[in-house]
Amino acid sequence: GQNIDQPTEMTATEGAIVQINCTYQTSGFNGLFWYQQHAGEAPTFLSYNVLDGLEEKGRFSSFLSRSKGYSYLLLKELQMKDSASYLCAVSPYSGSARQLTFGSGTQLTVLP
Amino acid sequence: ETGVTQSPTHLIKTRGQQVTLRCSSQSGHNTVSWYQQALGQGPQFIFQYYREEENGRGNFPPRFSGLQFPNYSSELNVNALELDDSALYLCASSPRVKGLNTEAFFGQGTRLTVV
């Protein structure tokens, strides 16, 4: 079966750092993705992890521990435009964003 | 803008009716996936098409069906609509090549309301 858990909501202040956690239990795992989705818009790709460790891309970093079935997305220097839903997703295909299983998303609100 | 276009953007249908949603994939992308996203939830994988054939299916009943055309565009058909089918339907296109491929570009979606 597939089970991906993330917090439903988080609130943080502009300029701060926030960490969004994701735990997964899936029958097939070959990569974990993070997407950002603003209300009424398409999900957009943020990061991809297939090996344990930290991947950094500007203000965004993502961490993966395969043995623990755990990932987090770290957002630094928060901006108002970062208010969005953040989706954790697992792919059964190595190096591919095909047939993704998504969590329910974490709604992040950034306050001034 | 991702280059993946979906039509229509909004649609209202009556329970029991049939609906067809359309997706034009990004140039060069030969794989199209469809997802259903209920309000406040993450997208759920419906099925994927590659070379005009279904190539993977999620936990959706047979009344959800699709097509892919030679130009890689795709349709999602839903028969005998139910109230619970009300959702945002997302199309995602990606290339299918060997090696690392993390690109999956989503369209803006079609908001379907069943009344």
Residue of A31, A43, A95 with shortest CB distance to B99: A95
Nearest to B4 by CA among B115, B103, B112, B102: B103
| A97–B102 C-beta distance less than 8 A | yes
Cis peptide before B61 (omega within 30 of 0): no
Tokens of A86: 């953040």
Instruction: Tell me, yes or no, if A87 comes closer than 8 A to chain B by beta carbon.
Output: yes
Instruction: Tell me, yes or no, if A97 comes closer than 8 A to chain B by beta carbon.
Output: yes
Q: Under DSSP, is residue A45 helix (H, G, I), strand (E, B) or coil? A: strand
Instruction: Tell me, yes or no, if B3 comes closer than 8 A to chain A by beta carbon.
Output: no
Mean pLDDT per 10-residue segment, chain B (115 residues): 86 98 88 93 93 91 96 95 97 74 83 97
| B102–A33 C-beta distance less than 8 A | yes
pLDDT in tens, A9-59: 999 999 999 999 999 998 778 789 999 999 988 999 999 898 999 999 899
Scanning the structure block, which residue is given the tokens 């028969």?
B79
In degrees and rounded to multiples of 5, residue A28 shows phi and psi of -140, 130
Chain B CB contacts of A31 under 8 Å are: 102
Name B94's Cβ contacts closer than 8 Å, sequence gap at least 6: A96, A97, A98, B29, B31, B33, B101, B103, B104, B105
Instruction: Tell me, yes or no, if A69 comes closer than 8 A to chain B by beta carbon.
Output: no
pLDDT at A30: 79
Residue of B42, B103, B105 with shortest CB distance to A104: B42
B contact test, residue of A26, A35, A96, A107 with most B CBs within 10 A = A96
pLDDT at A60: 96
pLDDT at B95: 77
Torsion angle defined by CA atoms of residues B80, B72, B10 and A44, in that order, rounded to the nearest 10 degrees: 120
| B44–A98 C-beta distance less than 8 A | no
Instruction: Tell me, yes or no, if B103 comes closer than 8 A to chain A by beta carbon.
Output: yes
A contact test, residue of B106, B108, B110, B111 with most A CBs within 10 A = B106
pLDDT at B31: 87
Chain B residue with CA closest to A6: the answer is B42
pLDDT in tens, A54-75: 999 899 999 999 999 999 999 9
